[in-house]
Structure 1
Amino acid sequence: HDHRGSEMTLVLQGGFSDDRGSYYPGDFIYRSKNDVHAPRAFADEDCLCLAVIDAPLRFTGWKYRWMNPFLRLQAG
């Protein structure tokens, strides 16, 4: 996904990897507003993370782009 703001992620269970490395339970990851983040969960287990973002996500992968309009919806 692409993100227009900063993002902080805490891995709670399982893990994932991206172009910068692999992350496991307890790892804290910070991405600045200029980073493009493409996480991939490990194949052998589910990944559960807590993420805090300050701007909408925008999926760039062909399988998930259809979700972009729904990510702009906000509770009123």
Structure 2
Amino acid sequence: MRALHIITGLGVGGAEQQLRLLLRHLPVDCDVVTLTNPGPVADGLGADGVRVVHLGMGGNRDLAALPAWSR
């Protein structure tokens, strides 16, 4: 089983750090999709073995990035 986590960005903040801590303790492999900003937490997740995909959206309403979901 795999789990997908979607987050707006992975800059240094509370939600981002909580996601990283959560993923360390889940009993399944996880992937993370970040919509707008991979930020420094993405590097930490990668070091933890989590695959991070950045969609490259310019903002939360940037629908031009939706074709990236098919990757």
Q: TM-score, normalised by structure 2?
A: 0.28
TM-score by length of 1: 0.27
The structure in which a higher percent of residues are strand is: 1
Considering Cα pairs closer than 8 Å and 6+ residues apart, tell me whether 1 or 2 has the greater RCO: 1
User: Which protein has the bigger helix share?
Assistant: 2
